Chains A and B, each alone.
Chain A
Amino acid sequence: MVTTHTYDALVVGGGGAGMRAAIELSERVRTAVISKLYPTRSHTGAAQGGVCAALGNVEEDYPEWHAFDTVKGGDYLVDQPAAQLMTEEAVQAIYQLERWGLPFNRTPEGKIDQRRFGGHTANHGERAVKRACYAADRTGHMILQTLYQQCVKRDVRFFNEFYCLDLLRDGDGRTAGIVAYELSNGELHVFRAKSVVFATGGYGRMFRVTSNAHALTGDGPAVVWRRGIPLEDMEMFQFHPTGLAKLGVLLSEAARGEGGIVLNKDGERFMERYAPTIKDLAPRDLVSRAIYQEIKEGRGAGPKGDWAYLDISHLDPKVIEEKLPDITEFARIYLKVEPTKEPVPIQPTAHYAMGGIPTDTDGRVVVGPDETPVPGLYAAGECACVSVHGANRLGTNSLLDLVVFGRRAGDDAARFAREADLADAPEAPATATIDLLDAFLTRETGDNAADIRKELQDNMFDLAFVVRSEESLAKMQEILHGLRERYDRVAITDKGSVYNTELMETVELGFLLDCAESLVVSARARTESRGGHYREDHPLRDDANWLKHTLATRQPGGSITLEFKPVKMGPYVPMERKY
């Protein structure tokens, strides 16, 4: 049975970007949020260290300095007008969160307190600057809670534990709605709407070591990709240097912002060699690569020599207790290590997708090198690529991205929903989804999805992680081909309708395979090193040939074609990236 609903606007995803968009939308048009999790379970809540804005509460600072850092941090693949807009709107966005009740830490005068963070500097790289507004080391938790509270206040309509499995478009390519699967009873729902905002988060679960939640399987990017929308800069993935060893659980950069340092097995503070000016507060791509270099040269820690250490034991215990309580607890619980007394074993962890669904600064999804908008289709947050993060996102800019562009996407989606007519849904709109699910539900024997997922994660970690090459990526592409064939033979044991999480995990694996394929094809094409994308066979940045965004598109037969579009430049001329 398929139930049909009609709204003016839909938001797919109940995390920070989705709820920020929903707040904007629900005041103006009939809105529903489709979320596979209860919204407060979203991974925005795992963000720790802070959200940057040039408030200047603690020391001199300007949005323009923030914009420069964002562009340089992104290794000049950032669209500069978007970064300028984000850093200018940042100030009001933070005040808005505070007025909604977000419990920021405070200065002695009672203003929002600010602290240092990687890659954020005063006056174009002179020294580290205190720009990150924070609430202990649970800033993301506070943002997620605050946005949910505001949604409760506005009585926003949520469809919780509904999985979006397809995008509906009419014959002219206009957005017509989505198809969703209700987890509690296995029923399908067609949601028709004039505008749809995708805000489904990232896809770090394609890697074995990741800070990402199990739920982060790239659903939004994969769903639109299957309907012919390109994905931008998929090769640009951030590997955060300080994941808890073995587990990948994030230890916030705030640890280094408060004075923590990274050490090799000899106890050497090796970042002094790689980034003499700001040392441990260098951007994440540089620190992760430095750790890899240390490992390669035999100075890695741990039983296999593939770890480093994060040391905060020299910090004032009061600072640790008040400003870094959660990450301290992670080390205690999961590694049985006491961070106030000993260094914590760490390794780079797959953390954040800079690439995703291409949008303009109003959140409108735009396709092709000429950026043609898809009527009624929007994206915001990690699943989108504006692009404000370029080849490497600066710490704290993800939370800023989701409040700034969540708002902007919601605002324009509301405008569109008021002006446009409802597009016709295709005939029998749920057919493709029914076929997708029936394949798994009717097959009695076949491959195990968990084995395929594990091989995906292990190989992506070995072949497409911090260090890549033509050889490793070609091998990964071959492996993905085999995994895809096996995926098409997967059988599951749960054939029921009630909370069939095995079925949904299997669908999510398909989404991950899509995202991995587009990532690997894009990474293979980009024969240079830039930001999070490091090719040991092409170790230098190549502005003459590669100062451009990648657009990967899935063709109807399944092959992938690549196009490129220029980076939108601005006042900042690309220069060598030294810190």
Chain B
Amino acid sequence: MATPAEVLQASDQQQVGAGAKGHGVRLTVRIRRFNPEVSQDSWWDEFEVEADPLERLVEVLHQIKWHLDGTLTFRRSCAHGICGSDAMLINGRNALACKVLVADVGSRVTIEPIRGLAVLKDLIVDMEPFFDGYRSVLPYLINDSGEPEAERLQSSEERARFDDTTKCILCAACTTSCPIFWGDAGYVGPAAIVNAHRFIFDSRDEGARERLKILSEKTGVFRCRTTFNCTDACPRGIEVTKAIQEVKRSILFDRF
């Protein structure tokens, strides 16, 4: 029987084609495990794999799950950074496992669940509190001024004003990198504020006053201590801290 490493190497080579053959690197993957049906305590497992440097980490996790340990559990879907399923703590930083390549992590990588949300199994956390925060900021267009027959007009400049925050994929990488969120689950967190920002600064929206009121409360924007963890963590490159600051400024200086 082939060793796990041989299996991995063979499948990698078939997957990535001839260009990468013979360039597999050895990688130690250390994963924090948790399974409430096995133990109430988490533990660490280490897997030795051989992988192509351009392989995505999420596919390395698949190779482990498919050939070494079928119980390894994580969320994933699109595998190219669009669906937001596979946010993880990778070598101490939040990232999407499908946007980190083997070449990016060296010979050893440590993978843990994102922080601040209850771990349910291995790398899967309870997303409900995260989505509760999102829903609390009225994340939909509010406009009661009647509907035009065709589209509402909006200039390119007006659209550009909130373009950055439309990119959010709700992966929770920002919120679960925030030390304030770790300490206080009541804080709505960066992602919720990003999604409020997306509407507050949309020229077609009329709900800013309501959202700013919600975000001025003690669970809102003023919990932010501008550590910039969120901005560093965002896999979509959103300037999260800047968006939070703009919302703070609106509460303080704008008359709504």
Contact = CB atoms under 8 A, between A and B. Distances in A.
A335 interface: yes
Chain A interface category by residue count: 35 or more
A45 B37 contact: no
Q: Interface residues of A: mostly helix, strand, loop or mixed?
A: loop
A498 B19 contact: no
B58 to A, nearest CB: 9
Interface in B105-154: 120-122, 124, 127, 131, 134-135, 139-141, 143, 147-154
Nearest to A102: B141
Nearest to A506: B70
A41 B69 contact: no
A106 B83 contact: no
B18 to A, nearest CB: 4
B37 A111 contact: no
A103 B163 contact: yes
A303 B82 contact: no
Interface stretch (A82-90, A146-154, A170-178): A146-154
Interface in A317-357: 326, 330, 333-336
A112 B151 contact: yes
Contacts of A450: 66-67
Contacts, number: 170
Given A40-B84, A214-B79, A334-B54, A246 B73 contact: no
A499 interface: yes
Interface string A407-450: 00000000000000000000000000000000000000000111
A249 B54 CA distance: 14
B111 to A, nearest CB: 16
Nearest to B71: A494
Nearest to B237: A329
A37 B140 CA distance: 21
B85 interface: yes
Interface in A103-127: 103-106, 108-112
Given A108-B156, A335-B54, A304 B77 contact: no
B169 A99 contact: no
A111 B149 CA distance: 13
Given A98-B151, A105-B159, A498-B36, A45 B139 contact: no
A27 to B, nearest CB: 15
A112 B152 CA distance: 9
B187 interface: no
Interface in A461-494: 492-494
B159 A103 contact: yes
Contacts of B141: 99-101, 149
B204 interface: yes
Contact of B77 (A214, A330, A454): A214
Interface of B: 11, 14-20, 35-38, 54, 56, 65-67, 69-71, 73-85, 99, 101, 120-122, 124, 127, 131, 134-135, 139-141, 143, 147-156, 159, 162-163, 166-170, 199, 202, 204-205
24 contacts: A38-B127, A38-B170, A40-B83, A41-B75, A41-B78, A95-B150, A101-B202, A106-B154, A111-B153, A135-B166, A145-B168, A152-B139, A303-B18, A303-B19, A304-B17, A330-B80, A333-B99, A448-B66, A454-B14, A494-B70, A494-B73, A498-B120, A499-B73, A501-B74
